[in-house]
Amino acid sequence: MDHQNDDLFKAFLQKTHVGLVLKKEALSFSIYVAGDNYLKITGLNREALIGKDIFDVEKDIFPSNILEVLERVLMYKSEAEISPFLLTPAHHSKSLYISIHISPVIDHDGGVEYLLYTVKDIDQEIRFANDRANRNYFMDLIEQAPVGMGILKGRDLVIESANNRMLELWGKNKSVLNMPMAIALPELEGQPFLRLLEDVYTWGEAMVGNEAKAFILRNGKLETAYFNYAYQPIKDKKGHTTGIMMIATEVTPLVLVKQKLEESVSSFRSVVMNAHYSLLVLKGKHWIAEIANQRLLDLWNKKKEEVIGLPLLQILPELVGQPFLEYLKTVYETGKPYGQEEEVFYFNTANGIGKKYVSFFYDPMIDTQGRVYGVIVGAEDITARVESRHKVERAEEMLRIAIESANLGTWHYDPLSKRLTVSPRLKELFGYKSNEEMTYDTVITQVTEEYREVVQKAIQSSVIKGEHFDLEFSIKGHYDQQLRWMRATGRIYRDKEGIPVRFSGILLDITEHKQDEIRKNDFIAMVSHELKTPLTSLKAYVQLLSSKAKASGDIQAMNSLSKADGQVNKMNNMIKSFLDLSRLEAGKINLEKQHFGLNELIAEVIEEITLTDRTHNISTGNSQKVMVFADREKIGQVINNLIGNAIKYSPQGKIVEVLCKEVNGETLVSVRDEGIGIPKDDIGLLFDRFYRVESRKFKTISGFGIGLYLSAEIIKRHEGQIWVESEEGKGSTFYFSLPHKDLIL
């Protein structure tokens, strides 16, 4: 090749894309031509290359195996390629990938003297391939992330990618990829998210949301879901937003739990506030009153602001020294609830220290770590209940003391089971040992014969008619056979249906009293007998004298003696009534009943009275003729007594009216006077023994106060009734009735 042609050829090669032209040397290759393109890529000067052996130039611009490759090309006269080769150019800090193509230049002899070494910048290509790999890796990460992730591109918010989790959250599948959000999730219309995304896109500002409520169409159903999310703008190099990266996690279960918790807290609060007993929630180690209902405030007598938010001991400093604090402490320490039925609660008031009885419980509130963080206090003011119980207890105690100190026996009889329960004292009274059982039947046989029937009847009528039971009777001791006098009182207790469930009462030993009474009655009997003895001779003398005066025609003596006889009768009647009384009280009056005309008896009594009293007009008005079955003598005594009283208590009044008639089969006798009448307060007591109306008006009127009592007793024994109607100053009417004849047998 001539020089001119050589220069031209070299210049041409320099401008072509061929990198280098290498020339075969003895042992190596030298650089014959270096193209502009090659210099540009490698950043080397041509002067540093031309004519140089390839091993004499800067290191690393040829691959390490370059000699081997060149020799092979030379030998086989075939092309070779090295790709990629990471070249570190001299002027660059950054390496770049190139591909190297080597082809032999075969001369006309078929030999090879020159090799074409062309390079191509494949840096972009290679790097792009690497990027792709990285990107795929990243995408895999995203795909498998447990949070929803997605990328939206462009202003239309096209879903460029969305990981599985995100698709799940949306309730969609991959078909939504490459669709704008608004189309992929049409349900978002009207919800704030699209608008937020647009804002992020527009303003390039990230945005996060917590527990945002969204309605999402999942599996064809619109569901309510809650999300935590972050929208992060993706920007290009110029800072323009090109897309949005979305990260979202669903927190629906959490939110629901939270809501439930809130609901239960609020329902707990309402339970507390509306509870029928005092409730208080104390929190923390200082026992801060967090919730307190009105009842608690009432119990403590505090206002709400004096309680809520304050430590317990500040609210009630008086609790120091009371047992509540210890209990509370224990509950905090052990986590075990504590309660007590009854405890005294002292509290400060404006007037000193108040006292209430409370029943209460402490329920610990325990956190997830098992620690007590608060206590629910429930309390009830049971003061009224306790006080009334104390009252009852006191009353019972007093009753017990009374029964014991009075040596009373008590008894309970269950009419249904016929079971008799008695106190030890009662057993003692009946002559039993305290461990022995007593039955109703044995008790009845122990009652002495004369009272047995009376007692049985009284019990029966008490059970049937609910009458109060009050009876005196004598019994024989079980072992000692000793006679004892008893007074038993009792009444029947019925349940709501009126069924007798318990017949109970007390038993009093009245033996001593009874013996006294017997002695007294014996004494009265003796006295009256002794008084009557002289009266008998006195009366006989008076009558004998009277008949003598009659014979001699001594009228004056006759009158006097007749009056004397009357006085003897009067005295005799007084003595008789005493005797009657004592007999009556000893229960020894027996009725001798017979059929007789009551009118006749009344007439007889009036006649007798008229003998000594001529100042009153005693009439029998429109009396009917009435036959009765009764003790003639005793009924006569009653009529005598009533007419006698009528005369005695009407010093001015002249009229006494005795009426007798039948009303509804009952015999009714009335004795009316126009006398001084009876004060209202005395009427009820009139038939009591020895009762006399205390008044100046009555002072001058003689009497023992036993007449009406005796009359009442006699009528009572006839199972009749006696009563009085009276108006002070106007007079009185005494009535007695005898029962229906059919009932008298």
Using CB under 8 A, which of the segments 139-147, 431-439, 536-544, 602-610 binds another protein? 536-544
Bridge partners (DSSP) of residue 412 are 421, 504
Note whether 583 binds another protein by CB under 8 A: yes
Binds another protein by CB under 8 A, chosen from 234, 444, 471, 525 = 525
DSSP for 428-471 reads HHTT--TTS---HHHHHHHB-HHHHHHHHHHHHHHHHH-PPEEE
Binds another protein by CB under 8 A, chosen from 532, 648, 697, 717 = 532
DSSP for 152-221 reads EETTTTEEEEE-HHHHHHHT--GGGTTSBHHHHSGGGTTSSHHHHHHHHHHH---EEEEEEEEEEEETTE
Note whether 567 binds another protein by CB under 8 A: no
**How many Cα atoms sit within 13 Å of 3 on the Cβ side?**
0
Bridge partners (DSSP) of residue 595 are 629
Note whether 672 binds another protein by CB under 8 A: no
Beta strand ranges found along 323-418 (DSSP E) = 338-349, 352-366, 372-381, 409-414
Residue 435 or 590: the one with the smaller Cβ distance to another protein is 590
CB of 529 to another protein, least distance (A): 5
Using CB under 8 A, which of the segments 102-110, 299-307, 532-540, 614-622 binds another protein? 532-540
Binds another protein by CB under 8 A, chosen from 256, 313, 464, 544 = 544
Amino acid letter at 735?
Y
Note whether 145 binds another protein by CB under 8 A: no
**How buried is 373 (Cβ within 10 angstroms: 0-12 exposed, 13-18 middle, 19+ buried)?**
middle
d(CA 27, CA 49): 18
CB of 543 to another protein, least distance (A): 4
Sequence-distant (6+) residues with CB within 8 A of 143 are 163, 164
Note whether 611 binds another protein by CB under 8 A: no
Residue 637 or 732: the one with the smaller Cβ distance to another protein is 637
Sequence-distant (6+) residues with CB within 8 A of 453 are none
Helix (H) or strand (E) holding 313: helix 312-315
Residue 232 or 562: the one with the smaller Cβ distance to another protein is 562
Amino acid letter at 91?
H
Per-residue DSSP letter, 25: -
Note whether 592 binds another protein by CB under 8 A: yes
Note whether 177 binds another protein by CB under 8 A: no
CB of 641 to another protein, least distance (A): 16
Binds another protein by CB under 8 A, chosen from 547, 559, 567, 617 = 547
Residue 352 or 553: the one with the smaller Cβ distance to another protein is 553
User: 598-612 and 632-648 helices cross at what angle (nearest 10)?
Assistant: 40
- Sign of the dihedral through C-alpha 460, 463, 464, 469: positive
Note whether 520 binds another protein by CB under 8 A: no
Note whether 717 binds another protein by CB under 8 A: no
d(CA 39, CA 624): 169
Note whether 534 binds another protein by CB under 8 A: yes
Note whether 589 binds another protein by CB under 8 A: yes
Note whether 541 binds another protein by CB under 8 A: yes
- Sign of the dihedral through C-alpha 420, 426, 429, 434: positive
Note whether 568 binds another protein by CB under 8 A: yes
Note whether 550 binds another protein by CB under 8 A: no
Note whether 572 binds another protein by CB under 8 A: yes
Note whether 538 binds another protein by CB under 8 A: yes
CB of 576 to another protein, least distance (A): 7
CB of 478 to another protein, least distance (A): 28
Binds another protein by CB under 8 A, chosen from 37, 42, 423, 528 = 528
Sequence-distant (6+) residues with CB within 8 A of 259 are none
Note whether 579 binds another protein by CB under 8 A: yes
CB of 635 to another protein, least distance (A): 14
Residue 153 or 583: the one with the smaller Cβ distance to another protein is 583
Contact footprint for another protein (CB under 8 A): 525, 528-529, 532-541, 543-544, 547, 568, 572, 576, 579-580, 583, 588-590, 592
